[in-house]
């Protein structure tokens, strides 16, 4: 969850996993995965920094609770995203296979 500010000055908490795209035109417009569009005061770079900081905080919390390096490597593989040839983010292939096998996560969100 990240905090963003609407153009009218109202702050709101947004689930960063729902952000599909962020465009500067000149205001920052966030398009969510279900099509809703939000215009916020923060720049695209600021939104990206907030998303990355939030995810780093989550991963740091998981890493402190991971028992042994094998669990830590699994957490890292689940969080690693790489651009595919179409330019969109996809999960690392090993992580996708692991997710399909375990069935513990049904979708991955990412920001490239």
Per-residue H/E/C for 12-31 = EEECHHHEEEEEECCCEEEE
From CA 22, how far away is CA 41, in angstroms rounded?
A: 12
Residue 60 has a pLDDT of 83
Q: What is the mean pLDDT of each run of 10 residues along the chain (112 residues)?
A: 96 96 93 96 96 90 73 64 44 45 40 36
Helices then strands, each counted (H, E), the chain: 3, 7
Residue 87 has a pLDDT of 42
Q: Please give the distance of CA 4 from its chain centroid, rounded to a whole number.
A: 15
pTM of the predicted model as reported, rounded to 2 decimal places? 0.61
């Amino acid at each position: 969850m990240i905090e963003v500010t609407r153009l009218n000055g109202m702050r709101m908490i947004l689930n960063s996993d729902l952000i599909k795209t962020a465009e500067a035109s000149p205001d920052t417009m966030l398009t969510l995965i279900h099509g809703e569009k939000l215009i916020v005061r923060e720049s695209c770079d600021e939104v990206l920094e907030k998303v990355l900081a939030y995810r780093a905080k989550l991963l740091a919390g998981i890493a402190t609770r991971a028992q042994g390096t094998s669990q830590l490597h699994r957490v890292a593989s689940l969080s690693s995203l790489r651009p595919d040839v179409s330019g969109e983010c996809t999960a690392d292939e090993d992580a996708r296979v692991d997710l399909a096998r375990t069935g513990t996560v049904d979708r991955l969100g990412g920001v490239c």
